[in-house]
Amino acid sequence: MTEQTRLILTPEPLTAAAFAPYGTVIETRDRDFFMINNGSTQRFHRLAEVMLGKAGDRGIISIFRAQGLEMPLRVKLLERHPFGSQAFIPLKQHPFLIIVAEPDESPQTDKIRAFITDGSQGINYHPGVWHHPVLSCEAEDDFLVVDREGEGNNCDEYYFAEATEIVLKNSA
């Protein structure tokens, strides 16, 4: 007999401290800067690092156009990128949802967490962190994505058993 698992995720506000086990929050709030361009520009330097795991890897920049999904959302899979970090920066300043689990052979159901950004925050997943594919809160939204290109499969997917029910509630 298969054991039934049920987990209801309620997104919590994204903070650097809460997200630290999974990656870096990319934001300028409370961050140091220095002036460049003859004093006309604030540079918030090194807010996150692109992590590349193999010789010959390249850091690439893409735009993802995400479609909003119906809520509440039944979470069926998480993915991870073992050879590099992956950053998502919202281009239209809309909040977005995040579902994560710490690196392990497979996502540990009892340790899955959900966050919601404030619209000005981006994130950079550490290599190996389990996460849901991008979750737009809008019907359609654009994200600047910085991640790895190179040899080898850099995307592992984990599909939960049918008896495992993980539901992401509306954030409101």
Q: What percentage of the chain carries pLDDT values higher than 70?
A: 98
**Band (4; pLDDT cuts 50, 70, 90):** confident
Q: What is the mean pLDDT of residues 143-167?
A: 96
Give the residue numbers spanning the domain of 125. Answer: 5-168
Report the distance separating Cα 22 and Cα 112, nearest Å: 11
Residue 121, pLDDT > 70, answer yes
- pLDDT of 1 over the 90 cut: no
Which letter does DSSP use for residue 62 in this model?
E
> How many other CB atoms are there within 10 angstroms of residue 86's CB atom?
24
CATH number at residue 139: 2.60.120.480
Closest CA to 124 of 105, 106, 145: 145
pLDDT in tens, 28-48: 999 999 999 999 999 999 999
Q: Work out the mean pLDDT of the chain and round it to a whole number.
A: 96
Asked whether residue 2 carries a pLDDT value surpassing 70, the answer given is: no
Total domain count, the chain = 1
What element of type H or E holds 79? strand 77-80
